[in-house]
Structure 1
């Protein structure tokens, strides 16, 4: 403790026989010992050090005669606040503040990670894990090598010489390990250790934590293990986090985000509940509208159940949940159903090549298919597609003042042509879905961009991932919801590697493709991962929580 900074510097007032000549060399540039006013006050009494005095004098003046337990706490407080508002589903209200906070953290980020406050000359796995994850997810350049120093043999610790390991730092390590790029071995090791550590704590019900006092901590960790990041949808995560959240009185979060005027009495949980219920009310209205669409086109006669439609809508609403983005949600849900109908029609052996070519020709010319009896199903599906495309185009024009009818029509024509020629390497429906979502959201994808090598790389990788996940789902290679059995398959490891590659493509900075367009590829891939990972019963519970149960 006399040679390198450790957490003992936080508690000097409780120690004896200290070598102050050595210890004073471990002060932060502010004059403190770590971020502890108490420890620094004891040092001042023992040494009369001028830097200790200046640190304490500034604190007493700033806090008008008192002192907090720790100062500065600027790095971890910012990260914790960002993490909370994101998991509560209200981060979109604080976009500028989140960027300011992350810029501040990145300014003091070091190759050794961070501690709670700047200038600490010390780091721990808690702040470093959360900092690494949030910075990477927001496009800042970071490396997981900062976590290597917390690994000793096959174990990770919050910091060196740790005697009692708390669950929350290891849980943050687990969450950081999931934001992995290919060949980042330290994150693979971190995930294996943290997952095993947390499962053991759940089994033994040992959740005494030095940093967090919350009765909901076991529920939060259990849900985090049950729902890995690849299989996590924003609204599902928000609903569970609101239920398990123990921060009703977290006034400090509001102070960290500079006292946002939108929030009554600094109640972030209250805002999250109000926002969730407002979104849910909109989702219920849209579901009733979709039911009318289902009845009007007699989709049940075409083999589509209401359960199929509800799942399609849920997957859209669980990702794109803002009330004002109704047209994107509805376009996503309807397109999923029409893709299913078209795939069935073009791959059914009873439909002749002539019938398929005729349907495609009529679609190209915006006409209805012929009246022959054998064309009945194809005519109905084509009618649904053309009328739905018209509706999507009108809504996008009203919302974004952009005529997207030609772009949407071309995207469907390209996909149908490949489907007819059996030229789909992975059934490129993921690529089509991404294009529909982006177009209806007002993110214009030009012809040149569609041919851009990087865009093609996104499309091919996303198509491959979704195809392989669908194979798992259809062939029931794994027990639904049991990740341990999935991981034994060679193809699962290939999917994991491909997901890591997609995450890297999305998060690494590039000027070629808009970040919103890139994020849509990841969103669609994660949605496919979600449906392959969870069993139907669990998905049914999630649907009820997101669409029908208020908070």
Structure 2
């Protein structure tokens, strides 16, 4: 992540100038991961470090701690940046420090081994520790403070100097410049590093390579990067050129170290005013970036949403987004100047219903906006991923700003994949994001994936690595607990659902796809909150029934008489005894539908204080008749004359009204008859029908053509080309896919925009149903190729989490 948007997930609590807290002298070692709670018969998974100890904390305690940190941002201290601020002299005298509290804090916070810094692992020394230690040594030497501390620090650097030359050791960005610059400063102060001259020469050789290497971005990006690490060049730097990057708050890149170096070399009043405000706010230590409250809070909101626990903090999230929205409207630098901050703010604000347009993203519309930035110089994968995800939140197919951003960010991400320079985890993430658009993923599957890959330490600062605040550990602990407790609920529901299938005798139907685990997976993966058990079960039951009678009408072994008998029974409904059953199959299917929908209608009436039975029956009759029309088309080999004729029937035969709508009455919200007849509701249902039919057709057309069935891909090929050659079929498929995507854009705008009579939770159900469609029909009819889907179903309902052990992080300073 980049300078003005480093996600530390917190803010350094204010420290009194007269008291300087001690950082832990020793970091706790990471432990083998272990989940202490795996309920409902789920096998115990593993989780490590502090997260394990947090598992015993009550859920309410975890929520209280997260809520407190949402309300007040906490940032981690940066020893490297604190050392540079400590080097700034008084305005009136170069012989005294301007910020003695920083010197005192450095003296108070040396580790037992002589080092300074925050190590992510007590088992090894990294380049960030080495950089921070040398910076603290130089800061103390400048003011002739702490000779014993200096000696111990130099010995630590000497013992571990080989780390600086290890190209395999992950380095803070610009390390070869900033570290060699500190060596030059130390030498000028008369400090002698206990290392061989050949080793020092090697560091400067690496610096030369760094400055000569052909990195990403443009000349402008290189200039920006060199300004960001300007402290590494000292008096060799053109400081007038560097000051061109000064912001309204007086800082350079919101970086205390770069700003402090500028203050030392230019005595610029605005840089000193920035540093004054920084030290007045935080006392002795300073963060690696400031301000970064908005980005840090947005990262926390994003983490809560990605792990599936955001609903527990709805009020705090709304407050954060309100603040972000005000900053957005005022075009504040903290939000608008930095690419990932602006992109994440846009994505979260838009998906939460705030009225913003993509016009404010127009300055990122061209690839040059990235190429000319530090992000481009570093070929920053995280920024590209954020841009690509943001580009998918389009409300119009004519939105060229987001379309352009999506095009060039995807191109650069693909180039990174081909370069083979990405880490294993980064490569996996890029491949996943490119393969699965946001509208083709299911919430609970995403939550599981994000929990298992959750990085407790947060993001790393470019010039100085550090861990995020403890809210990350608590977020992970709460997410793990919530996921496992939810699984226990899903498992009990699955047992009931399986017994319901047998009670309805659906397992006796040889023609039907009766797979309770997969069906309930689609419900649990989208309506995942445990307290929404009624809505979830209604969705599972109606999905199963629609699947069964869709198979009933599709099956060539089912006679026309049986199909007509079923329709007649549905039309008679309570008076079905007047007709009777012409076969066992009809009897089983009808009674399963009749008894289940009657029960759903009765329960809904209690919740809504009105009857919805007539609407349920009307939808069932309409879908059955539409399925009959399709069956007749197949039997007579009839091909509709136009797409309009085909779609007018196909939208109804998808039967989405019969399984998307019933769960809406069980979400704890009132839906009046006027609401369900409103234009908004009608559009939501129509778009769901269109998307469902087109996406289904685009992935199942081969099998349907072989079976002699009408399909929009086949019809489009005949309409546009007059033939069904492979080329015509592929061209038609592209058009159908494009139409489905276009409808999805319209659906997104309808769901994410405020206003209208339909509550957002109800609109979300239509959106989630469309995501289910894209998930199940992403490559082929997933019902007919269930291996991967079965694995996903187990992941949501049955299988325990498998977590990567997180590194330990020191506590943040208390305010």
1:28, CA displacement in angstroms? 3.3
Residues 338-386 of structure 1: CA deviation (Å, up to 9, x unaligned): 22334455676522686345313431xx344357451543333332223
Rounded to whole Å, the distance in 2 between the matches of 1:351 and 1:70 is: 74
Q: 1:284 to 1:8 in 2, by over 3 A?
A: same
1:441 maps to: 667
Task: Quote the residue 2:775 is aligned against.
Answer: 530
Question: Aligned partners of 1:242, 1:304: CA distance in 2, in Å?
Answer: 39
Tell me the SS of whatever aligns to 1:267: helix
Tell me by how many angstroms 1:107 deviates.
1.7
Give CA-to-partner distance per residue, 1:218-246, whole Å, 9 cap, x none.
Answer: 33333222322111100111111122222
Unaligned runs of 5+ in 2: 1-218, 460-465, 630-647, 705-729, 802-815
Structure 1 residue matching 2:278: 3-state secondary structure: helix
Which of 383, 398, 404 is the equivalent residue of 1:183?
398
1:65-214 counterparts in 2 under 5 A?
65-109=284-328, 117=334, 123-152=337-366, 156-157=370-371, 159=373, 162-181=376-395, 182-207=397-422
Superposed displacement of residue 459, structure 1:
1.7
Give the unaligned 5+ runs of structure 1: 209-214, 260-264, 479-484
Query: What is the TM-score with the length of structure 1 in the denominator?
Result: 0.83
CA deviation after TM superposition for structure 1 residue 280, in Å: 1.0
SS at match of 1:109: helix
Residue pair 2:567, 2:625 contacting (<8 A) in 1 also = yes
Instruction: Give the secondary structure class of the aligned counterpart of 1:337.
Output: helix
Instruction: State the 1:140 CA deviation.
Output: 1.4
Question: In the alignment, which residue of structure 1 is the partner of 2:560?
Answer: 350
Could you tell me how far 1:206 is from its partner in structure 2? 1.6
Question: Match of 1:413?
Answer: 618
- Rounded Cα–Cα distance in structure 1 between residues aligned with 2:531 and 2:791: 25
Displacement, 1:473?
3.3
1:487–1:147 Cα change, 3 Å: farther
User: Partner residue of 1:288?
Assistant: 495
Report the CA distance shift for 1:110/1:18 in structure 2 as closer, same or farther (over 3 A): farther
Aligned residue for 1:89, secondary structure, equals coil
Aligned to 2:263: 44
**In structure 2, do the counterparts of structure 1 residues 351 and 203 end up closer, same or farther at CA, with 3 Å as the change threshold?**
farther
RMSD: 3.4
What is the CA distance between 1:499 and its match in structure 2? 0.7
Change (3 A) 1:371 1:377: farther
SS in 2 for 1:489: helix
Q: What is the distance in 2 between the residues matched to 1:407 and 1:343?
A: 23
SS in structure 2 of the partner of residue 473 of structure 1: helix
**Structure 1 residue 59: Cα displacement:** 1.8
Q: Flag the 1:432–1:91 CA change in 2: closer, same or farther, 3 A.
A: same
Secondary structure, aligned partner of 2:291: coil
Deviates further, 330-339 or 371-380: 371-380
Note if contact 1:335-1:433 (Cα within 8 Å) is conserved in structure 2.
Answer: yes
Q: Name the CA distance, whole Å, in 2 between partners of 1:161 and 1:390.
A: 59
Shift of 1:476: 4.1
Paired residues of 2:513 and 2:551 also in contact (CA < 8 A): no
Shift of 1:531: 0.7
Candidates 350, 359, 364, aligned match of 2:569: 359
Moved more, 78-87 or 191-200: 191-200
| Displacement after TM superposition at 1:23 (Å) | 6.7
Partner of 1:543: 793
Superposition deviation, residue 37 in structure 1: 1.6
| Aligned mates of 1:420, 1:196 — CA distance in 2 | 47
Query: Using the alignment, how far apart are the partners of 1:83 and 1:36 within structure 2?
Result: 24
Instruction: Give how far 1:269 is off.
Output: 1.4
Displacement after TM superposition at 1:132 (Å)? 1.4
Are the counterparts in 2 of residues 78 and 101 from structure 1 also a CA contact under 8 Å? yes
SS in 2 for 1:443: coil
Deviations 1:121-140 (A, max 9, x none): x6232222222111111111
Task: Flag the 1:190–1:54 CA change in 2: closer, same or farther, 3 A.
Answer: closer
Deviation (angstroms), 1:55 = 2.3
What CA distance in whole angstroms lies between the structure 2 residues aligned with 1:413 and 1:42? 74
Q: How big is each residue's C-alpha offset from its partner over 1:385-440, in whole Å with a ceiling of 9 and x where there is no partner?
A: 23223443565577xx4446x21442232341453375745125223322112112
Q: Counterparts of 1:242 and 1:353 in 2: how far apart (Å)?
A: 47
- Equivalence for 1:329: 536
CA contact (8 A) 1:59 1:67 kept: yes
Q: Say which of 495, 503, 525 aligns to 1:318.
A: 525
Q: Which of 239, 257, 282 lines up with 2:448 in the alignment?
A: 239
> Greater shift after overlay, 281-290 or 181-190?
181-190
Q: Secondary structure of 1:207's partner?
A: coil
Query: CA, structure 1 residues 174+392, in 2 after alignment: closer, same or farther (shift >3 Å)?
Result: same
Structure number with the bigger relative contact order (C-alpha 8 A, sep ≥ 6) is 2
Q: TM-score, normalised by structure 2?
A: 0.58
Aligned to 1:509: 754
Show CA shifts across 1:306-332 (max 9, x none). 753322211111001111111111110
Q: 1:292 to 1:14 in 2, by over 3 A?
A: same
Distance 2:401 2:393 in 1: 12
* Bigger CA radius of gyration: 2
Q: 1:402·1:442 contact (CA, 8 Å) conserved in 2?
A: no
Contact 1:415 1:428 in 2 (8 A): no
Cα 1:147–1:402 shift into 2, 3 Å: closer
> CA offsets per residue over residues 106-159 of structure 1, 9 Å max, x none?
2222697x76x36xxx62322222221111111112233344423546885473
**1:269-280 paired onto structure 2 within 5 Å:** 269-280=476-487
Distance of aligned partners of 1:253 and 1:435 in 2 relative to their CA distance in 1, 3 Å threshold: farther
Q: After superposition, give the CA deviation of every residue in 1:525-550 in whole Å (9 maximum; x if it has no partner).
A: 11111111045332222112111111
Number of positions where the alignment pairs a residue of Structure 1 with one of Structure 2 = 519
1:270, distance to aligned residue in structure 2 (A) = 1.7
Structure 1 residue corresponding to 2:545, chosen from 332, 338, 351: 338
CA shift digits 1:17-56 (9 cap, x unpaired): 7777787676434332231222222333344444333322
Greater alpha carbon shift after TM alignment, 195-204 vs 163-172: 195-204
CA distance in 2, matches of 1:232, 1:321: 14
Q: Show the counterpart of 1:482.
A: none
Q: Distance in 2 between matches of 1:353 and 1:543?
A: 32
- Paired with 1:26 and 1:177, the residues of 2 have a C-alpha distance of 28
For 1:243 and 1:351, locate their aligned partners in 2 and report how far apart those are by CA, in whole Å: 53
SS in 1 for 2:377: coil
Residue 430 of structure 2 is aligned to residue 221 of structure 1: yes
Aligned residue for 2:681? 455
Say whether residues 1:57 and 2:283 are aligned partners: no
Moved more, 185-194 or 21-30: 21-30
